[in-house]
Amino acid sequence: MTVRIRVETSFADISAEDWGRLAGASRADAQTPYNPFVSHAFLSSLEESGCATADTGWLGQHMLLENDEGALIGALPVYLKNHSQGEYVFDHGWADAFERAGGSYYPKLQSSIPFTPATGPRLLHRTDQPIIETQAALAGGLKELAKRHGVSSAHVTFVPDAEIPVFEAAGYLHRTDQQFHFVNDGYGSYDAFLETLASRKRKALKKERRAALEHGIEIDWMTGKDLTEAIWDQFFAFYMDTGSRKWGRPYLNRDFYSLIGERMADDILLVMAKRDGRYIAGAINFIGGDTLYGRHWGCIEDHPFLHFEVCYHQAIDFAIARGLKRVEAGAQGEHKLARGYLPTITHSAHYITHAGLRRAVAEYLERERKDVEMMGDYLAEHGPFRRGEHNNETE
């Protein structure tokens, strides 16, 4: 197979139709579950809104793998970055250590979905092409791109476990972390899910859900044509209020929501909480081929347990109603365990160009992987399920 890699700095210069032929990037590909975050619509909206651009430290270096006829057969979304913000796989300690030793950690190459801690395909490929060869060419191409730029490292985060062997074969280091995901075992209803829990946990969740909707609070699911500009205005107010208090400056702007509302409204679920005729809180989720991805929430009124109801319980309700296999509820959060979300291992791959830094990072990652595995086992043993209902979701 004769191939070449072309680098583009903007999705405006990449054909949406060609990109949509890559596995997982559109609903048209029946062989691979759709992942909305690797769609052209999502990635281009981040750029066009100004959220992920050179001005914010996300300079596109998107790798396009083409055959000898010029057809796009593979791709890897890549950014040249001068910071580590908006990634959720933390390498600040590596950067500090390298800088103290006299090195320059930044800029670096980052293959990820900006501001989105969700696992999904990174080595995008056409299913009618040799998959292993395509993926290997992309993993090797990222290393060559790092050498061409003279950067310290290249990172690929929230990688599916099936892609990790490709990166390891190319000389990348393997890192693990942990999230909490709900697994739908074919439940016919939320009550059917509750029946798998220990009695005490089941009663606690029922009580929690009742308490969350006290004071006349109602819940609306909004998707597709429901997502008007007026609704986006209200949700953005929630996002800005909570985001500004929680981490300073939120990453996403109002234009981004208008763009995704225009381009992928059927892939979005807003769970909105209403009291006295006005919306007071909401959470945004993205609907994939077999997974619901919870992203962020906001509120302008504080009510006990409302966050858990809007973000976690309603997501389970929607997944069961739609027959989705999983709910990924974002980064971290051991409080999710009591609400039926299982500890699940996430993966990333890291190519370090400096031999000394690579050696130190490799030693650290070996210890970290063991710690992550031990913590996952411990948490699974203390989950809410009756004994034997679920195994630890660590794959």
* Residue 307 shares a structural domain with residue 350: no
Inside any domain, residue 336: no
Has residue 391 been placed in a domain? no
Asked whether residue 331 is assigned to any structural domain, the reply reads no
244/238 Cα distance (integer angstroms):
10
Is 24 within the bounds of a domain? Answer: yes
Q: Is residue 392 part of a domain?
A: no
Which residue shows structure tokens 């393997």? 174
CA distance 312 to 88: 20
Q: Are 153 and 210 members of one domain?
A: no
CA gap 223, 376 in Å, rounded:
34
333: amino acid identity, one letter: G
Are 278 and 369 in a shared domain?
A: no
Same domain assignment for residues 196 and 166: no
> Within this chain, do residues 129 and 201 fall inside the same structural domain, yes or no?
no
CB 44 within 8 A of CB 94: no
* Residue 349 φ/ψ, nearest 5 degrees: -130, 140
Tell me the pLDDT tens digit for each residue of 83-100: 999 999 999 999 999 999
Please report, for the domain that includes residue 204, its CATH number: 3.40.630.30
Q: State the Cα–Cα distance between residues 127 and 36, nearest whole angstrom.
A: 18
Expressed as residue numbers, the domain containing 22 is 3-178+344-381
The reported pTM is 0.95
Does residue 394 belong to any structural domain of this protein? no
Residue 95 lies in a domain: yes
Counted domains in the chain: 2
Q: pLDDT tens per residue, the chain (395 residues)? A: 689 999 999 999 999 999 999 999 999 887 899 999 999 999 999 999 999 999 999 999 999 999 999 999 999 999 999 999 999 999 999 999 999 999 999 999 999 999 999 999 999 999 999 999 999 999 999 999 999 999 999 999 999 999 999 999 999 999 999 999 999 999 999 999 999 999 999 999 999 999 999 999 999 999 999 999 999 999 999 999 876 666 557 899 999 999 999 999 999 999 999 999 999 999 999 999 999 999 999 999 999 999 999 999 999 999 999 999 999 999 878 999 999 999 999 999 999 999 999 999 999 999 999 999 999 999 988 899 986 666 544 44
Q: Give yes or no: residues 67 and 167 share one domain.
A: yes
